[in-house]
Structure 1
């Protein structure tokens, strides 16, 4: 049987471990937002509201559909994708938005150049990789952006008539975090570091 003093010490140690773990998660996200390579992606809206979680917009990107001919390491005879990661190399276009130039399952064969960025996504099993296939749809974990209450529907409607973008920070390992929602050149909402 534990004494009262040992029980208190165990509870304090457990609380410190939990606080440390949460701090590690928050600091990791903040490090990406602070130090990640800034990239601007063109977005296409999907849905503005979730009654249980508040206003948000689901975002679809041009890079959410990667043409299969851009994937550089599809093994000969491979007909469908595995449940795996994909690295998509991005380069900035003349319009300021970044787009996919190439992609690889697993890892890129070489690091991105200074004017490029690699974003890592996830591809579900079963995507058609045959020569007739057109595209696959990676998930980058940046499809949802929460907004202040009452803002979702108005922004959703505006996205249908003029271009919006999302400024994203990409860490060296390819993990992405949304930094800001852009209406043309104007920053509408910016994510705080903490």
Structure 2
């Protein structure tokens, strides 16, 4: 009798694990399919990972945020804590989105129709009081993997013309990279599944 219970428990555990993984994949696919699209400029960085292959490291227009854009820094606070941040983006005349304001925690009001919010995380220790201080939020969009052999050519091209990443943003600001862009041309698109 205990052998049957062990088999049933193993099957239930396996189904729970499969369900959890399916839930994660479906959530990511839902953002890619239905999320608000924004385009960010990227800059070249070493495009090779020995274990996973070629990639573009995403150093973009929201990688560093001027502290003066953060609207709710408490008086007397000199450094950041490990906390969440929301950065409000607005589309520029060149088609790329730029940060306009940011808040620790949550935005006080939803983004307007021509705006988008991206959620990130700020580590401990960023200075908040120097006049030209910046912080570097983590958004979970720091790499885009490419087919083998494509990274070096793209890195060279990035030095002479603008490249970007197209993001899909969920309603709560979670970001997924949707595509790598060479100007207006889509080079690589992330599959839904």
Superposition TM-score, scaled by structure 2 size: 0.97
Give, in angstroms, the shift of residue 25 of structure 1: 0.5
Residues 6-85 of structure 1 mapped to structure 2, 5 A cutoff: 6-85=5-84
Query: Runs of 5+ in structure 1 lacking a partner?
Result: none
Residues 143-182 of structure 1 mapped to structure 2, 5 A cutoff: 143-182=142-181
Query: Runs of 5+ in structure 2 lacking a partner?
Result: none
Give 3-state SS (helix, strand or coil) of 2:107's partner: coil
The CA deviation string for residues 55-90 of structure 1, in whole angstroms up to 9 with x for no partner, is: 111110111111111110011121111111110000
Whole-angstrom distance in 1 between the partners of 2:112 and 2:173 = 14
Bigger Cα displacement from structure 2, 129-138 vs 28-37: 129-138
Aligned to 1:90: 89
Whole-angstrom distance in 1 between the partners of 2:121 and 2:55 = 22
Whole-angstrom distance in 1 between the partners of 2:74 and 2:10 = 53
CA RMSD of aligned residues (A): 1.0
Give 3-state SS (helix, strand or coil) of 1:63's partner: coil
Give, in angstroms, the shift of residue 131 of structure 1: 4.0
Whole-angstrom distance in 2 between the partners of 1:162 and 1:133 = 28
Whole-angstrom distance in 2 between the partners of 1:131 and 1:48 = 33
How many residues are paired up?
Answer: 193
Whole-angstrom distance in 2 between the partners of 1:121 and 1:85 = 6
Bigger Cα displacement from structure 2, 124-133 vs 154-163: 124-133
1:109 matched to 2:108: yes
Q: Which runs of 4+ in 1 moved over 4 A?
A: none
